[in-house]
A and B are shown apart, each in its own frame.
Chain A
Amino acid sequence: GAGEGKLGLGRPALPEEIAAWDVDVSPDGTGLPVGSGSVADGEMIFSENCAVCHGEFAEGVDNWPELAGGEGTLADEDPVKTVGSYWPYLSTAWDYVHRSMPYGNAQTLSNDDVYAIVAYILYSNFLVDDDFVLSNENFLEVEMPNANGFIIDDRAETEYSIWRSEPCMENCKDSVEITMRATVLDVTPEEEGAAAATEAAP
C-alpha cells in the first residue's frame, strides 16, 4: 500500500524497536524515563564507573574531560568548559551519559544509575546539596548557570555583511612582518628534523 509518490519500501517500526533506539532526551524533559537517584548513590557509582578518567570529584584526570569547575571562566584566556560552567541543559548530561558513557562500555547504566550520576555531577559543581535526589519529576527545576549563554549563529549580521565586498589587490599594506612562527613551538609530529634545520638556516 504505497501512498502518493511512495515506493512502498521498508516496513513499519514496532513500538519495542522505537523504544530501544529512541532514547534521546530534550531540554523540556521529553524522553526522560521514570526514575531517580541520589548524590550519595551517584558518588559510589561514579567512583566505580567514571572516576578513573574523570576523577573522584569529576575534576578530570590527565587529558580526560573535566566535568566540574570552571565557573566564571568563559571569557578568560583559557576557559574551563564543564557541565557546571558551560552546558546549557541538564537533559544533555542525562542523555549523553545514558547513551554513550562509560567510555568503552556505553549503554550499560540503568536509568536510576544515570539519575544518580547526574545528581553527583551537579553536586560536584556545587549546584545541589549532598542530600539531593534527582528524578524525572524535579529534573526541570535544576538551574544550569550557563543556560542563557548561547546565541544562535549570527555570522550573517556580524561577518558576512562586512566581508562580502570587493577586496584590495594592490598596495594593501605598507609593511608586512612575521609575528609568529610554528617552528618556535615545535609541536608538529615527526617534523623535528625539519624544525631544527629551519632554525639553523641563515
Chain B
Amino acid sequence: MSDMLKPSRRAFLRGSAAAAAGLTAAGAARANGPDPLITEVQEWATVFGDGVDATPYGLPIQYESDVVRRNVEWLTADTTSSINFTPIHALDGTITPQGCAFERHHSGAIELRKEDYRLMINGLVDTPLVFSYADLERFPRENHVYFCECAANTGMEWAGAQLNGAQFTHGMIHNMEYTGVSLRTLLNEAGLEAAGDLADKWVYVEGADASSNGRSIPMDKALDDVLVAFKANGEALRKEHGYPVRLVVPGWEGNMWVKWLRRIEVTANAVESREETSKYTDTLADGTSRKWTWVMDAKSVITSPSPQSPITHGAGPLVITGLAWSGHGAITRVDVSKDGGKTWETARLAKPGEKMALTRFYLDTEWNGEEMLLQSRAIDETGYVQPTKAQLREVRGENSIYHNNCIQTWHVMPNGEAENVEVS
C-alpha cells in the first residue's frame, strides 16, 4: 500500500503548488523563454523505446499509478468480505478498465479454471441440466454495456459527509461491455413447461465460492434481459469479477450479479436467503425494512473537479465532468449547479444515454477562482429526477444503508481544492 500512497500524495502536493502559484498560472505553454522540452533534443527522440516483445500484456504507464482501486480498512472486519473502490475521479468516457474496476467479495476472489467450471440448472424445469464452460460458448451470444453498482455505493454518506473523494463516495461501480448468453436461452434449454404459470415463479442463483451469495430473481426479470456473461470489455472476466462466468442483471443492485455462477434453480417462491434478508434490505425510520429493492435509481456524480481531482490550472476554461446512470433506463439529461442548487444549467451528454449504462456528461465553463458548491442532477427516461439527500431522508430516515442516490455536493475553494460537503 505504501507504493500507492506516494503518487496520490504527490498528486496532491502538485495540486497545492499550482494553486499556491496563484490563479494566473497557465502552465508551460506561456513560458518566459524558449521551452527546453522543445529546443533541446530529448532522450526519447534519440534512442530506442521498448521492443514489441517487452510487454505481452501491458499495464498502465508508471505515471498513472494513482489510478488504482483503493480499500478503506475500517469499513469491514476482513478484506475477504469487503469492498474496494473504482478510481472514477481519474477516469473519463464510460468504459471502466477491468484492472481497476471495483471488487466486492463475501469470501474472497476464488480461482476457478474453465475446465473445472460447471453450471447446473435445476428445480422446476423439464430436464435439469449441467453445462461445461465449452457448452456455454456454443449458445448464441449477445453484447451489452451495463453498469454494475453495489447497493451500498454512497452508503457511508447516509448520516453525513464522510469520505473525501468521488472514488470513495461513488466508486462501488463499474461499466463494461459484456458478452454472454441470455439467461432466457439457458432456461429454455432446460425447459420451463414443468414450471407451469411463469408469472409467479423465481430463479435462485448462486456462486461457486464459499459465501455462495445466493439471490432470488423474479422470473419476468430472468426472462427479460439477464445475461450469463463470460467476457467483459472484450476479454475473459477477471478472476475477481467472477471468472469464468458471472450473472449480469441490468439496472439491478450489484449483489445480484452473482460471480463464479454455478447454479440456477427455478423455484415457486423466493428463497429469502441471507443476502436478501439480513443484507440488502433497507431499514426505514420506523424500524420496518424494505426488501427486494432491486433497481438502482437514477444517480450522478461530478468526477472532476472533486476532492481527489482538484483544479490545478488556475482561472479560465474549466471542464466539469461526471457520470450519470439509471437502472430504469437511459439518462436523458444532467443538470449542473455551481451554487449548491440555487440555479442549474443543463450539461452536455458525450453520447445519448444508453439503457442501464454509465453516461458521461460535460459542462464546458469558465472559472474565475470563485468558490463553488458543485452538484449534478440526473434525469432518466421515465422522468425521474435524482433527489437530494434531504428528500431521501424524509422518506427513509438515515439507516437504509443501501440505495443512496442523493445529489452530491463538492465545495470548490478559491485555491482549486474540493471537499465533500452537505449543504442546506
Interface residues of A (CB under 8 A from B): 3, 5-7, 9-13, 17-18, 21-22, 24-28, 53, 62-65, 74-75, 77-79, 81, 83, 86-89, 91-92, 95-96, 99-100, 103-104, 106-107, 149-155, 158-160, 163-173, 175-183, 185, 187-191, 193-195, 197-198, 201
User: Knowing A177-B423, A189-B72 touch, does A163 contact B387 (C-beta < 8 A)?
Assistant: yes
Q: Which residues of the partner chain A approach B387 to less than 8 Å between Cβ atoms?
A: 159, 163
Q: A160 to B281, alpha carbons, bound, how many Å?
A: 19
Query: Pick the contact of A62 from B77, B122, B294 — CB < 8 Å?
Result: B77
Instruction: Tell whether, in the assembled complex, residue A165 and residue B385 are in contact, meaning their CB atoms are under 8 Å apart.
Output: yes
Is the contact region of chain A dominated by helix, strand, or loop, or is it mixed? loop
Instruction: Tell whether, in the assembled complex, residue A63 and residue B77 are in contact, meaning their CB atoms are under 8 Å apart.
Output: yes
Instruction: Tell whether, in the assembled complex, residue A75 and residue B287 are in contact, meaning their CB atoms are under 8 Å apart.
Output: yes
Instruction: Tell whether, in the assembled complex, residue A153 and residue B272 are in contact, meaning their CB atoms are under 8 Å apart.
Output: no
B254 within 8 Å of A (CB atoms): no
B129 within 8 Å of A (CB atoms): yes
Instruction: Tell whether, in the assembled complex, residue B272 and residue A182 are in contact, meaning their CB atoms are under 8 Å apart.
Output: no
In the assembled complex, how far is the CB of residue A136 from the closest CB belonging to chain B, in whole angstroms?
17
Query: Pick the contact of B161 from A10, A172, A182, A198 — CB < 8 Å?
Result: A182
Q: Which residues of the partner chain B approach A153 to less than 8 Å between Cβ atoms?
A: 290-295
Interface membership of chain B positions 402-424, coded 1 if the CB is closer than 8 angstroms to chain A and 0 otherwise: 00000000010101010111111
Instruction: Tell whether, in the assembled complex, residue A152 and residue B77 are in contact, meaning their CB atoms are under 8 Å apart.
Output: no
Query: Pick the contact of A180 from B71, B210, B422 — CB < 8 Å?
Result: B422
Q: Which residues of the partner chain A approach B339 to less than 8 Å between Cβ atoms?
A: 176
Instruction: Tell whether, in the assembled complex, residue B377 and residue A167 are in contact, meaning their CB atoms are under 8 Å apart.
Output: yes
The stretch of B33-41, B225-233, B340-348 that contacts the partner chain: B340-348
Interface residues of B (CB under 8 A from A): 1, 4-5, 8-9, 12-13, 16, 70-74, 76-78, 80-81, 106-107, 120-123, 126-131, 135, 138-139, 160-165, 168, 188-191, 204, 206, 210-212, 214, 262-263, 265, 267, 269, 271-274, 277-278, 281, 283, 285-295, 297, 307-308, 335, 339-345, 373, 377, 379, 382-385, 387, 391, 395, 398-399, 411, 413, 415, 417, 419-424
Q: A74 to B283, alpha carbons, bound, how many Å?
A: 8
Q: A7 to B420, alpha carbons, bound, how many Å?
A: 54
Query: Pick the contact of A176 from B120, B168, B210, B373 — CB < 8 Å?
Result: B373
Instruction: Tell whether, in the assembled complex, residue A10 and residue B9 are in contact, meaning their CB atoms are under 8 Å apart.
Output: no
Q: A36 to B283, alpha carbons, bound, how many Å?
A: 33
Q: Would you list the 5 A-B pairs with minimal beta carbon distance, nearest first?
A: A75-B287, A176-B340, A74-B287, A63-B77, A182-B420
Instruction: Tell whether, in the assembled complex, residue A6 and residue B189 are in contact, meaning their CB atoms are under 8 Å apart.
Output: yes
Instruction: Tell whether, in the assembled complex, residue B70 and residue A189 are in contact, meaning their CB atoms are under 8 Å apart.
Output: yes
Instruction: Tell whether, in the assembled complex, residue A10 and residue B122 are in contact, meaning their CB atoms are under 8 Å apart.
Output: no
Q: Which residues of the partner chain B approach A185 to less than 8 Å between Cβ atoms?
A: 160-162
Q: Which residues of the partner chain A approach B295 to less than 8 Å between Cβ atoms?
A: 153, 155
Q: A88 to B198, alpha carbons, bound, how many Å?
A: 26
Q: A150 to B189, alpha carbons, bound, how many Å?
A: 36
User: Knowing A164-B382, A172-B343, A176-B373 touch, does A13 contact B129 (C-beta < 8 A)?
Assistant: yes
Q: A73 to B8, alpha carbons, bound, how many Å?
A: 41
Q: Which residues of the partner chain A approach B373 to less than 8 Å between Cβ atoms?
A: 176, 178
In the assembled complex, how far is the CB of residue A149 from the closest CB belonging to chain B, in whole angstroms?
6
In the assembled complex, how far is the CB of residue B207 from the closest CB belonging to chain A, in whole angstroms?
10
User: Knowing A26-B269, A173-B341 touch, does A79 contact B288 (C-beta < 8 A)?
Assistant: no
Given A191-B8, A193-B9, 4 other A-B residues pairs in contact with their CB atoms under 8 A: A150-B290, A150-B291, A176-B341, A182-B420
Instruction: Tell whether, in the assembled complex, residue B344 and residue A21 are in contact, meaning their CB atoms are under 8 Å apart.
Output: no
Q: Which residues of the partner chain B approach A91 to less than 8 Å between Cβ atoms?
A: 272
User: Knowing A17-B120, A62-B77, A167-B344 touch, does A96 contact B423 (C-beta < 8 A)?
Assistant: no
- 14 A–B contacts, CB within 8 A, in A order: A9-B138, A53-B77, A87-B278, A96-B274, A96-B278, A150-B290, A151-B291, A155-B295, A163-B385, A172-B341, A172-B342, A177-B423, A188-B165, A190-B70
Instruction: Tell whether, in the assembled complex, residue B385 and residue A164 are in contact, meaning their CB atoms are under 8 Å apart.
Output: yes
User: Knowing A178-B421, A180-B161 touch, does A75 contact B285 (C-beta < 8 A)?
Assistant: yes
Q: A194 to B424, alpha carbons, bound, how many Å?
A: 25
Q: A198 to B292, alpha carbons, bound, how many Å?
A: 41
Q: A165 to B4, alpha carbons, bound, how many Å?
A: 44
In the assembled complex, how far is the CB of residue B80 from the closest CB belonging to chain A, in whole angstroms?
8
Instruction: Tell whether, in the assembled complex, residue A10 and residue B343 are in contact, meaning their CB atoms are under 8 Å apart.
Output: no
Q: Which residues of the partner chain A approach B265 to less than 8 Å between Cβ atoms?
A: 22, 24
Q: Which residues of the partner chain B approach A188 to less than 8 Å between Cβ atoms?
A: 72, 163-165, 168
Q: Which residues of the partner chain A approach B421 to less than 8 Å between Cβ atoms?
A: 178-182
Query: Pick the contact of B12 from A7, A187, A193 — CB < 8 Å?
Result: A193
Instruction: Tell whether, in the assembled complex, residue B278 and residue A165 are in contact, meaning their CB atoms are under 8 Å apart.
Output: no
Q: A166 to B335, alpha carbons, bound, how many Å?
A: 12
A170 nearest in chain B by CB position: B343
Instruction: Tell whether, in the assembled complex, residue B283 and residue A81 are in contact, meaning their CB atoms are under 8 Å apart.
Output: yes
Instruction: Tell whether, in the assembled complex, residue B417 and residue A7 are in contact, meaning their CB atoms are under 8 Å apart.
Output: no
Instruction: Tell whether, in the assembled complex, residue B164 and residue A178 are in contact, meaning their CB atoms are under 8 Å apart.
Output: no
Query: Pick the contact of A154 from B165, B206, B286, B290 — CB < 8 Å?
Result: B290
Instruction: Tell whether, in the assembled complex, residue B130 and residue A11 are in contact, meaning their CB atoms are under 8 Å apart.
Output: yes
In the assembled complex, how far is the CB of residue B51 from the closest CB belonging to chain A, in whole angstroms?
36
Q: Which residues of the partner chain A approach B163 to less than 8 Å between Cβ atoms?
A: 182, 187-188
Q: Which residues of the partner chain B approach A99 to less than 8 Å between Cβ atoms?
A: 212, 214
Instruction: Tell whether, in the assembled complex, residue B135 and residue A176 are in contact, meaning their CB atoms are under 8 Å apart.
Output: no
B286 nearest in chain A by CB position: A75
Q: A96 to B165, alpha carbons, bound, how many Å?
A: 35
Q: A194 to B107, alpha carbons, bound, how many Å?
A: 33
- Most chain B CB inside 10 Å of its own CB: which residue of A83, A175, A197: A197
Instruction: Tell whether, in the assembled complex, residue B122 and residue A92 are in contact, meaning their CB atoms are under 8 Å apart.
Output: no
Instruction: Tell whether, in the assembled complex, residue A182 and residue B164 are in contact, meaning their CB atoms are under 8 Å apart.
Output: yes
